[in-house]
Amino acid sequence: MYIALVTMGTPAINHDQAVEVSLSSAPTFTGLKDKGLLMKYYLTNESGGSGGFYVWKSKADAEAWYTPEWSARLEKTYGVKPTVAFYDSFVQVDNKAGQVFVDGKPQ
């Protein structure tokens, strides 16, 4: 699995506003299921800042999404340029399922 952590220096908003904004874009991300997006966590900070924690099937899937056009679209929408950090996630602990995975395979 491959992780992308997107952050943006947006102004602070309250929980209800964050939920409203996030739900408005959720269909975009449910539509990425066949393009390798496994999960997205919306993020916000009480003192300002927002972003997302994305779990992708592969590095190629992630890199296909984070294009210069994507960055320009977010900058136009939110008034700030996003930053993206990529991580290889080789071991996962899933306490809901009671499983440990290595490279996506249960141990």
Domain ranges of the chain: 2-106
Of 73, 63, 71, 75, the residue nearest 37 (C-alpha): 63
Beta bridge partners of 43: 51
> Residue 3 to residues 37, 41, 64, 77, 92: CA-CA distances in angstroms?
10, 11, 13, 23, 11
**Domain 2-106 indexed as CATH 3.10.580.10:** no
Say which DSSP state 64 is in. H
Residue 100 predicted with pLDDT over 90: yes
Contact 53, 3 (CB under 8 A): yes
Q: What is the pLDDT of residue 86?
A: 96
pLDDT computed for residue 54 by the predictor: 97
The model's confidence at residue 23, banded by pLDDT at 50, 70 and 90, is: very high
Those residues whose C-beta lies under 8 Å from the C-beta of residue 11, and which sit 6 or more positions away, are 48
Residue 73 has pLDDT above 90, yes or no: yes
Model pLDDT, residue 46 = 86
Averaged over 54-75, what is the pLDDT? 95
Contact between 70 and 50 under an 8 Å Cβ cutoff? The reply is: no
